[in-house]
Structure 1
Amino acid sequence: MLDAFPPLANLVHKGPVVFAFDFGRYLVAAALVAAIVWGLRRTSLRTRKIQAREATMADRRREFAQSVQTVAVYTVVSAFIIWGVDAGVLHRFEGSYGWVGDLALLAAIIVAHDAYFYWVHRAMHHPKLFRIFHRAHHRSITPTPWAAYSFAIPEAFVMIAFVPIWLFFVPTPGWVMLSWILFQILRNAMGHAGFELHPRWWLSTPWTRWINTTTHHDLHHNGGFNKNYGLYFTWWDKMMGTEHPRYAERFAEVVAGDRAVGAKPADSGATAVAA
């Protein structure tokens, strides 16, 4: 009976392994970043905590529970992705384009995912979509690494949809996909760390200032509800005029140890979503 509907068969036979892998990478990334922040907060760098407010244990429990829910959604969608690959609807590529080609493709998928994330993230902030798709994530006004996958079910489907879209167009070696999904969850956990992990010179050089910092996304949760939509890079926010006007100033304050300005939400929208 299961063989008559391959995605269901994949979910039954391969689902537990997929769930364990996806949950495992979330757990390791979030726990690793949380442990680093815990350690740094016991050093002279403790002033790099971005907000004066402390996330509560209830916040962390909610973020963790919603992230487990997201992993369950990803597992269901993965059953269809596996079917799509087996059926030839999505590309299977077991080989390699060589180190240069593979690394170029890894860079391309990161850039493409950043563009996808910016536009779907911005769309989910539309008043007609926000409550259904994105409000659950914005309950984290003071985010922690455990918020990396803290999505409502509709948003989780939107986020995982990038994978079949990419594989429909681009034959991608397995190690490239694996490297990207590990990079993605680590960067996501860093973005929600609530603690600036980047060096103070990060925005002072053209080599790194286009790469998002923790402060960049923290402002989106607390102080810039309709700003800073990007995931990895600041390109789209700069081009579309959605970068927070005080981003560079706020980053400088955080790395200098002045978090007072970030003690309260500067954007009323950040408070409203928690209500």
Structure 2
Amino acid sequence: MNPPPSLLQIAQQMVVGSFLFDMSRYLIAASLIAGLVWMLRRTRFASRKIQRREASRADFLREVLAAARTVAVYTVLAVPTVWAFRHGYLKEFHGALTPLAFALYLAAILLAHDTWFYWTHRAMHHPRLFRNFHRFHHLTITPTAWTAYSFAVPEAAIMYLFMPVWFSLVATPVPVIFTFLAIMILRNAMGHAGLELHPRGWASHPLLKWISTTTHHDMHHGTSFNHNYGFYFTWWDKLMGTEHPDYVKTFDRVTTHQAQHLPAAIPAE
């Protein structure tokens, strides 16, 4: 039996492919959402733009360059992750995967990632961490789909570390992992889209209100840095009292499809 590969051997085998995979995932998702927003802004849905301010070309260039840096961080950290799999330190899934099991695994990883995101995101807003970890992301006041991977290096590392932590606890089928990665980047791009993409009434619906909207995260960038920390769901914000008190009212205003004066973004301290 051949010995497990070394870190250097794994790096030689996977670095290029890993970088291209993650960068393509970002570019495809951001392009799809940005294209959808571009088309909707030429219809009556243009009134769903959340802020009056337009993102600048400088914003776009900063965010795309930062995304490449984020993907580079993910690629570097993927090497020891694969090494840990090959050496048996992380759990691999073996066995049949039924549709029910697929759904349960996917629900579990989404719930776990939402929890990880809420608490690490909120922690990065602590004054001792904000400057080095999260301030770069908040250089964007008016987000677009391209903002999705606009992280400083320490924040990119925190975002990545969910995966090896999860794999150390749960052996997860490969199809579930790839579905999760697709949902994660699409929801990320949607959350930063700048145009509300969810139906009217969503934010106050008895069931749908627990799922985050574009307005929910846009307010975190443009209205108050100290509210709306969640990612896929709103329940951590509701439970911990960190949801913006004007969230539902803002969502309802944005989704009226009526001519209106959009508020300018008001950066929070």
Indicate the TM-score class for this superposition, using the shorter chain for normalisation: over 0.9
For 2:268, give the aligned amino acid.
S
Shift in Å at residue 22 of structure 1? 0.5
Contact 1:145 1:189 in 2 (8 A): yes
**SS in structure 2 of the partner of residue 111 of structure 1:** helix
Structure 1 match to 2:264: 263
SS in 2 for 1:175: helix
**Match of residue 136 from structure 2:** 136
Q: Equivalent residue of 2:208, what SS? A: coil
- For residues 94 and 41 of structure 2, the distance between their equivalents in structure 1, rounded to whole angstroms, comes to 44
CA-to-aligned-CA distance 1:166-203 (integer Å, 9 cap, x gap): 00000100000110011000000000000000010212
CA distance in 1, matches of 2:263, 2:95: 49
Q: What is the match of residue 161 of structure 1?
A: 161
**TM-score with structure 1 setting the length:** 0.93
Q: Distance in 2 between matches of 1:261 and 1:145?
A: 20
* Counterpart residue type for residue 226 of structure 1: N
Q: How does 1:203-222 map to 2 (within 5 A)?
A: 203-222=203-222
Superposition misfits of 4+ residues, deviation over 6 angstroms: none
Q: Verify: 1:79 aligned to 2:82, yes or no.
A: no
Tell me the secondary structure at the aligned position of residue 149 of structure 2. coil
Alignment of 1:59-78 (within 5 A): 59-78=59-78
Distance in 1 separating the partners of 2:104 and 2:93: 16
Contact 1:47 1:254 in 2 (8 A): yes
TM-score (norm 2): 0.95
In structure 1, distance between residues paired with 2:85 and 2:263: 47
Match of 2:150? 150
Partner of 2:118: 118
What's 2:35 paired with?
A: 35
CA distance in structure 1 between the aligned counterparts of 2:8 and 2:231, rounded to whole angstroms: 32
User: Could you tell me how far 1:213 is from its partner in structure 2?
Assistant: 0.3
Match of 1:89 in 2: 89
Within 5 Å, which residues of 2 pair with 1:177-192? 177-192=177-192
The aligned amino acid for 1:263 is: A
Distance in 2 (CA, whole Å) between partners of 1:5 and 1:126 is 40
Segments of 5+ residues of structure 2 without an aligned counterpart are none
1:103 aligns with 2:82: no
Q: Is this contact kept in 2: 1:193–1:214, CA < 8 A?
A: yes
Q: How far apart in 1 are the matches of 2:76 and 2:118? A: 24
Distance 2:206 2:192 in 1: 24
